[in-house]
Structure 1
């Protein structure tokens, strides 16, 4: 009986794999193309994956590829976010000092709060407010996709996600160029510059690029600070899930009732704990980090294939201004915080 059941499950998995393979293969090819162009021409890989996916959006509705595209936009995304946890360890982050840790955590929470409180001014409700503020505050496109995965879905969910990914990626690229120049003009030391860049630039790749364009010390510090913001992804998504679960329970029309704790959040936390305990060998950490990057590229390519380019334009100028306002709030808060920590103008 057990053998028969096992054979049935195996057959079902094989059938599922055959169904999702065509669409998933296209997503993986998009990831490969994005990585190649990014490494050779310097463009953000996430943005390239999104644009390549949108150029193939007809495959998102094609019967043969649609199941794989759906699989890439949801399950592959969750696995990619979970694997981010392997990069985190308490020992790594403790080298920053308590004051810097508190400043960065406060920056994340207050930016999300600013987004939620100011959203009505720009004409938005909680979904886009939380999605955009979380992306700006934590880790750009990766945070946007993780938060979107637990928010109730409606007919504009993909549109909001695409616009947020495009917006934070473009702003992050601009910040990668402008912030090092701003830091130099303000006379910041390399360490303070690294803290500022790591605490304000949205995407990990742009943080690394901006930090190491200044110096080795600035790059190392910026990367550590950025990882601290990535740590905030799990608790923010968890709290979001609990709130959404409560609302969904009271308002059935808001969407499917989410699980108490998403599996990918548990995976993120478990890997972070194991990394902090030193239970994950360095080669495995490197492999998990690399795999996470590829999976997230494939996932955003899948999201792109589900989106019509005209949908982005429907969001309008207020959404762009809203993202800029959130980005400016985070930068100003961190600058003021660094001024207080250093006792004068950052330097």
Structure 2
């Protein structure tokens, strides 16, 4: 019962966020996902009003427990067949862009802008995998502060939104050289931050581009699981003073739940209507967790971080765009 008040509060704000994201004025312009609207609402309310003590346990529960459940249910958006459908070309582009973007994001953030490990990993994971969802999943692994996570979400929102509008314009202008709709789909799915942004940037070109981009993007999302496991092991090894004991590594067990759900979904034994309902529930739970993150975020601490995360994410964005074009062309020419 101690959690009930806070859970109801975050749930109501999540429903409001989902409603607002579906309004034509938002859907047809910036096309913000409910997650982005949720954190904006949460930050606004959390910094204007002091949260009553009775709500705090439920808000913390929403941020931690509900988030883990939401990451597990994220597996219903994917199947192992998606990887096969992407083909070798898409899989190579996906893998190379994810790994290189993550490494570049960490290196640029630390080397040029002096950001700490936690902030650097959040920017890198959000840019290289799946935007806000990746930031949410990575934050507890690296034990980051909430204002750092909120700032990382802000960076992927800014540059993901720019990508959503920029990519179709550049493609229609013929500036992507000899790209066809399939190459454009691979490029978009492998480099744009959020799933919703990928859908918006690709289906505006054609159904072929949209389907290709969505599959490539979902395959990229699947790579979140191994990344979290690697980060868990790396941080345990880095902060250990007496050698690494495997029992001491903080394994993110929800990752195995995510993989298990992907496997279950790959069997095609659950009706598509049920899967669609589960995906809607998952979006709601992710939105609840985002509201909680916003409520717990101190905007003054975000100001203290300054513009450095934005600058770091901008360099990563340039790499995703320019590097993505080059990688797609090189891989296509080889295969």
Same fold, TM-score > 0.5, yes or no: yes
| 1:38-95 Cα deviation digits (max 9, x unpaired) | 1112241222101111122166742110111111111111111111112221222212
User: Which residue number corresponds to residue 209 of structure 1?
Assistant: 200
1:162 aligns with 2:150: yes
Counterpart among 183, 195, 204 of residue 171 in structure 2: 183
* Secondary structure in 1 matching 2:297: coil
Tell me if the contact between 2:89 and 2:332 (Cα under 8 Å) persists in the aligned partners. no
* C-alpha distance in 1 between matches for 2:123 and 2:224: 13
Cα separation, 2, equivalents of 1:283 and 1:250 = 51
Name 2:44's counterpart in structure 1: 55
Residue number among 94, 119, 125 corresponding to 1:128 in the alignment: 119
* 1:112 CA displacement: 0.9
Offset at 1:215? 1.2
Query: Displacement, 1:103?
Result: 1.2
Task: Please give the residue correspondences for 1:329-340 in structure 2 after superposition, counting only pairs within 5 Å.
Answer: 329-340=319-330
**C-alpha separation in 2, matches of 1:247 and 1:96:** 35
**Structure 1: how far apart are the matches of 2:291 and 2:73?**
18
Residue aligning to 1:3: none
RMSD: 2.0
Structure 2 residue 282 is the aligned partner of structure 1 residue 296: no
Deviations 1:268-291 (A, max 9, x none): 011112222334432332222212
Counterparts of 1:81 and 1:161 in 2: how far apart (Å)? 16
Q: Does the alignment pair 1:242 with 2:236?
A: no
Distance 1:284 1:302 in 2: 27
Note the alpha carbon deviations across 1:118-167, whole angstroms, 9 max, x for none.
Answer: 222111122111111011000000000000021134xxx11110001111
Of 66, 86, 89, 2:79 maps to 89
Give, in whole Å, the separation in 2 of the partners of 1:138 and 1:343: 25
User: Which consecutive unaligned segments of at least 5 residues does structure 1 have?
Assistant: 1-17, 252-256
User: Secondary structure of 1:95's partner?
Assistant: helix
1:246-261 equivalences under 5 Å are: 246-250=237-241, 260-261=250-251
Structure with higher Rg: it is 1
- Displacement after TM superposition at 1:313 (Å): 1.9
When the two structures are aligned, how many residues end up with a matched partner?
Answer: 320
Q: 1:196 aligns with which of 159, 174, 187?
A: 187
When residues 147 and 192 of structure 1 are mapped into structure 2, their CA distance, relative to the original with a 3 A threshold, is same
Q: Which moved more, 1:262-271 or 1:183-192?
A: 183-192
- Identify the range of structure 1 (88-97 vs 198-207) with the bigger mean alpha-carbon deviation: 88-97
Q: Check the 8 A contact 1:180/1:193 in 2, yes or no.
A: no
Match of 1:9 in 2: none
